[in-house]
Amino acid sequence: MEKTKKKPVMGRISDVMKKLRQASHETGEDCHCKRHRCLCIINEAERKVIIQQFNLLNYNEQNAYLAGLISVGPVATRRPRVHENVARFNDATYRYKVRVNRATLNLSEDVDVCYKAILSMHGIGKKRLENIQKSLKMKGVAPRDKRGTNVKKYSKSEKTIHAVVTHINSFKSRPSHYSIKKTSKKYLPEELNVKKMYGLYKEQNNPPVSYEFYRKIFNTRFNLSFRYPRSDTCSECDQFLANIKVLEMKLKTENGNEEEKKRTEAEIQKLGVLNRVHKAKAEKFYEKKRVFMQYASTKDDTEAIAMDFQKNLSLPNVTTNDVYYKRQLTFISFNIHELACNNAIFYTYNETIGKGANEVVSMLNHYIFYET
């Protein structure tokens, strides 16, 4: 199974976590330095101020601050403890200091400290300080964090892109029967998904691409979906809600114009009343349906029915890979529901017969004269 690259975690949560990591430095242990007596001449309150101010900086600002506390110079004297052919000599010497805010003197003072003390007071590790020293020695400036700045772009040839587009087009999609005038979206079989499509792409000796690239082409160049095309919501209710949402957004952007705000609020209230009236009419219809159902249940010479086409089914209903590329036969089902006795009668046939007014009348004629 091929492993795909994980998408980088980005956004607000990633930014917050990064800031929390940058502000989580804590003062370390005592350096026990006998030369500078670092933690003796810098008391606990002063060390607390240093770490607090350090945590307020971002990563690059922290590096620049630390670089300002380090002085680089040539090695004055070498005293190797082993033979010169074996000894590893330093290229430079480093001196460290800490800028302390003296509350008693009301000024800031630079205090010389040792290597361990600068690590302890800022809560950083050896590796980070070594990187700063190396950058100061080679470039004279503090290093900058380049993580997240190298955004890799997809650079595929037109031949590869064409192969992916051709493969996605080879799947037989279908429009929504009830929403064909409202949307151009088409639908693929429910049991299919992008992962399966990518697996089928690799089986056909196509130019190799990553899953992320295939998914990007699918999302940006096609208007396809795998779920069942839903049209159960009322178009008028959806339009009322959409208009109200637009007016509410407009109301938030209007600053200072009280007259315009009042007109917008009045329009929102008007649409809300119209939507409630529309729902009341729909409820009236269902109330009539319940009344007719009860009436038919008490009369032997009366029948109340509800009828509708059901979801079209594709035949054969199998998950074999080759089926996805072929035109399947549509299976149509027309249901007549007898409300009084809760009985259902189905008329089923395939797409070669048709699905229009003539077929509906024929099935109603058959029901009235042969089934009742």
Q: Is the pLDDT of residue 4 over 70?
A: no
Q: Which long-range contacts does 143-152 make (Cβ < 8 Å, 24+ apart)?
A: 143/63, 144/60, 144/63, 145/59, 145/60, 145/63, 148/8
Phi, psi of 346 (to 5 degrees): -115, 135
Where is pLDDT greater, at 174 or 96? Answer: 96
Q: Torsions phi, psi of 172, nearest 5?
A: -80, 110
* pLDDT tens digits, one per residue of 303-332: 888 888 887 777 776 666 566 666 678 888
What letters, b where the CB count within 10 A reaches 16 and e where it falls short, cover 304-328?
A: bbeeeeeeeebeeeeeeeeebeeeb
Omega of the bond leading into 80 within 30 degrees of 0 (cis): no
Q: How confident is the model at residue 236 (pLDDT cuts 50, 70, 90)?
A: confident
Mean pLDDT in residue range 338-367: 87
Q: Return the percentage of the chain with pLDDT > 90, whole number.
A: 5
Length of the chain: 372
- Sign, Cα dihedral of 363, 365, 371, 372: positive
Per-chain mean pLDDT for the chain? 80
Per-residue confidence (pLDDT) for residue 109, from 0 to 100: 86
Closest-CA residue to 152 (of 198, 213, 199): 213
**pLDDT value of residue 264:** 83
pLDDT at 1: 46
What confidence tier does 237 reach under pLDDT thresholds 50, 70, 90?
confident
Residues 43-59: pLDDT tens digits? Answer: 888 888 888 888 888 88
Q: At what angle do helices 194-202 and 158-169 cross, to 10 degrees?
A: 120
Residue-level pLDDT at 238: 72
pLDDT higher than 60, residue 229: no
Q: Give the lowest-confidence range in 2-6, 35-39, 271-275, 315-319.
A: 2-6
- The pTM of this model reads 0.39
